[in-house]
Amino acid sequence: MAAHYNASFTLMAATQADLTLAGRVARSLRKQSCAVELREQALGRDSLGCDALISHTSAERLGRLFDELGLQTAGQGRGMVLIHPEPEAAHYALALRRGLGDVIAWPGELDSWCRQHSQRHGSEAAGNSALLGQSIAMRQLRQRVQRIAAYDSTVLLSGETGTGKECVANAIHAASPRRGQPMISINCAALPDLLVESELFGYERGAFTGAHSSQAGKFAAAEGGTLFLDEIGDMPLCAQAKILRVIENQEYFRLGSTRAQHSNVRLIAATHQPLDELCRQGRFRLDLYYRLNVAPIELPSLRERAEDIGLLAEQFLRESCQRIGRPLKLGAEASQALLDYHWPGNVRELRNAIELAAINCERQQIGLSDLPPQLMRWASSRPQAQDELSQLSSLLIDTQWNKSEVARTLNWSRMKLYRKLKFYGLDTPKR
């Protein structure tokens, strides 16, 4: 039986001739439940960004190419050379010394490489490199992830959009005893109500018009592993009842079937909406809320851990430079703007801002004008914005978030108030 590894790979074939071998490698990896992206492109700086470089190219030629590309620094790349046939592997030690990464021989060493790669991804995901940040909040978060990962309890992740809930879910799975099994994600907000149940539980042939053959759902795909239910607050009430049943009885029914399917899946749910508030509004089942909220983790917004902005920005800039193949630095003005901004879209917004700035930048240093428009606007209106923000925050506190009163006092329409709350990333506090 094929092993199952929780890993994804980007394979690069340097020439058309290498593609055949790359296709075989990809098929083997996919049999081991790995996600594989296959690219064909001539050797270049982008080779550094891939996990495996498939190449029949001779070691000498590879060496010369690396010299030309300036890739001689040991350890710079994280790529691998997969070669064929096996006995030639030794020649590629030269490529290894030139910093391309490990060299493995096809097909003999593929399985152990795959295992190592998935473990490395697992421990990275559970450790510092996937959940970056040196703030106290992030250190505590990483410790909590490690502790919770060891048990099988259901986890409820909450936090604003882009704070890293999916990263944390991956980190928990990767550090858990289930790490060798699949991790399946489903975004409950992206599915129409009618499809949620068939996606989750699967269906039998003839269960509904168009069900020409039976289909397994996400619970079956995640069997033995972890199922990540993103945006659980958007799940329709009828599907919520069925999730509750799985948690309580470890069983579910495919649509159109009366035969119960046993389920051995760890659930991790995430929400950016306060579920207790949704329960009060009758939009979320209270009993399911309690069942999910066994091990809650609240992710801090980027504003609350502003000391991590510099470190995250540097890391995202390194990644962008690698992608575009040019070294860049952050200029002082741009760095200051990043520190001052209020980041309503959190880490995702920061990552995107750096990526855009790197593309925009025509010099060696990223300036204010390379940043996305919302950051430039914020930087130019910083004094007014900060005054407005502090006035708004104190009024909200003084009136205990009585929005009508705040709008009246500021002579704003309610719509304007809501726009400002969104702009400043101010959320109604949980009671």
Ligand X SMILES: Nc1ncnc2c1ncn2[C@@H]1O[C@H](COP(=O)(O)OP(=O)(O)OP(=O)(O)O)[C@@H](O)[C@H]1O
CB of 307 to ligand X, least distance (A): 13
Helix or strand holding residue 40 (H, E):
strand 35-40
Q: Does 226 bind ligand X (CB under 6 A)?
A: no
Q: Which is nearer to ligand X, 131 or 184 (CB)?
A: 131
Q: Which is nearer to ligand X, 303 or 348 (CB)?
A: 348
Pairing of strands 226-230, 251-253: unpaired
Q: Does 133 bind ligand X (CB under 6 A)?
A: yes
Q: Which is nearer to ligand X, 14 or 317 (CB)?
A: 317
- Which among 229, 230, 235, 228 has a CA at the least distance from the CA of 278? 235
Q: Does 56 bind ligand X (CB under 6 A)?
A: no
Name the residue whose CB lies closest to ligand X: 164
Cα atoms found within 13 Å of the Cα of residue 234, Cβ hemisphere only: 17
What count of other Cβ atoms lies within 10 Å of the Cβ of residue 297?
A: 19
Q: Does 233 bind ligand X (CB under 6 A)?
A: no
Q: Does 306 bind ligand X (CB under 6 A)?
A: no
- Which among 304, 364, 376, 301 has a CA at the least distance from the CA of 338? 376
Rounded distance between C-alpha atoms, residue 381 and residue 166, angstroms = 33
Q: Select the residue interacting with ligand X from 88, 111, 152, 166 (CB under 6 A).
A: 166
Q: Which amino acid, residue 259?
A: R
Q: Does 161 bind ligand X (CB under 6 A)?
A: yes
- Which among 124, 263, 114 has a CA at the least distance from the CA of 180? 114
Contact 365, 317 (CB under 8 A): no
Q: Does 137 bind ligand X (CB under 6 A)?
A: no
Binding mask 324-353 for ligand X (x = CB under 6 A): -----------------------xx--x--
Torsion of CA 280, 283, 288, 292, to 10 degrees: -90
Q: Select the residue interacting with ligand X from 98, 117, 121, 165 (CB under 6 A).
A: 165
CB of 351 to ligand X, least distance (A): 5
Q: Which is nearer to ligand X, 161 or 214 (CB)?
A: 161
- Which among 213, 223, 298 has a CA at the least distance from the CA of 267? 223
Q: Select the residue interacting with ligand X from 132, 279, 311, 426 (CB under 6 A).
A: 132
Residues that bind ligand X (CB under 6 A): 131-133, 159, 161-167, 230, 270, 272, 347-348, 351
